[in-house]
């Protein structure tokens, strides 16, 4: 029994049907971790991108080093670090939150690159035209560059959202009851790993296919020439 649901081990099919609600609860946790991790990554990524683009090397170089470091080291170790080291400094967070922060940290490095690439892809002539029109730097950025960068940035972000979802099972090591963790617990208790693990694979496939379709629709819906300003 888990989360109040009994399983029926008569055969594989009955087991599958009886554990589906449990796995779906795990999936719900997976999705929550995905969204929270993504939100953190979006904000931190923006900060990192801004720091990396800073005019002073004293700022941009350390920012780049941090970004590389976050990107090139395993999520698992980053997670362990946060999980075991933060409490030593008196910061005790729930495992779920620690996990989401770890996801957010790792992916902030990726997203900062997405922001940078999207902004750099806006043709230089656009900024030059804005300068010629004597727009302030802030307006040049917010009215000219950003609206044209968004159609490039959003689909790439969507792909990283899917990647985050696929990384959530790593949080199982710090006891987060996401879908894979739930499935292995069922496996441990029923001695049948095949059914729950296969179901998790199937559910993941469905989720990623749906997400990929969503990204495609979003990509198509976004005006290629930029977000229209009236």
Binding positions for other proteins, rule: CB under 8 A: 68-69, 72-78, 80-81, 84-85, 88, 165-170, 172-173, 180, 183-184, 187, 192-194, 197-198, 200-201, 204-205, 208-209
Would you say 108 or 148 has its CB closer to other proteins? 108
Q: Which residue has the tokens 């029109």?
A: 133
Smallest gap from Cβ 35 to other proteins, in A, equals 16
Smallest gap from Cβ 204 to other proteins, in A, equals 4
Would you say 120 or 133 has its CB closer to other proteins? 120
At 186 the three-state DSSP class reads helix
Query: In the numeric block, which tokens belong to residue 119?
Result: 């902004």
Would you say 39 or 194 has its CB closer to other proteins? 194
Would you say 133 or 188 has its CB closer to other proteins? 188
Would you say 136 or 198 has its CB closer to other proteins? 198
The alpha-helical segments, DSSP class H, found in 73-222 are 75-85, 95-120, 124-132, 137-139, 146-167, 179-190, 194-221
Burial of 144 (0-12, 13-18, 19+ CB in 10 A): buried
Smallest gap from Cβ 3 to other proteins, in A, equals 20
Smallest gap from Cβ 74 to other proteins, in A, equals 4
Cα separation, 127 vs 167, in Å, equals: 38
Smallest gap from Cβ 12 to other proteins, in A, equals 10
Return the CA Rg of the chain: 22
At 168, give phi and psi (nearest 5°).
-55, -35
């Amino acid at each position: 029994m888990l989360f109040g649901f009994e399983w029926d081990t008569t055969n594989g099919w009955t087991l599958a049907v009886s554990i589906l609600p449990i796995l779906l609860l795990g999936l719900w946790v997976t999705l929550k971790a995905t969204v929270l991790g993504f939100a953190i990554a979006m904000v931190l990524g923006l900060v990192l991108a801004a720091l990396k683009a800073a005019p002073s090397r004293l700022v941009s170089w350390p920012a780049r080093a941090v970004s590389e470091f976050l990107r090139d080291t395993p999520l698992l170790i980053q997670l362990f670090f946060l999980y075991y080291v933060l409490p030593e400094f008196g910061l005790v967070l729930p495992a779920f939150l620690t996990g989401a922060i770890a996801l957010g940290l790792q992916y902030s490095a990726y997203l900062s690159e997405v922001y940078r690439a999207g902004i750099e892809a806006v043709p230089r002539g656009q900024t030059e035209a804005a300068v010629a029109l004597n727009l302030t730097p802030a307006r040049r950025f917010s009215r000219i560059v950003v609206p044209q960068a968004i159609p490039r940035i959003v689909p790439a972000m969507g792909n990283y959202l899917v990647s985050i979802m696929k990384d959530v099972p790593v949080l199982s090591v710090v006891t987060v009851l996401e879908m894979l963790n739930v499935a292995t617990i069922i496996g441990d208790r029923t001695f049948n790993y095949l059914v729950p693990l296969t179901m998790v694979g199937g559910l993941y496939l469905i989720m990623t296919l749906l997400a990929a379709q969503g990204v495609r629709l979003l990509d198509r819906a976004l005006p290629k020439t930029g977000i229209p300003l009236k």
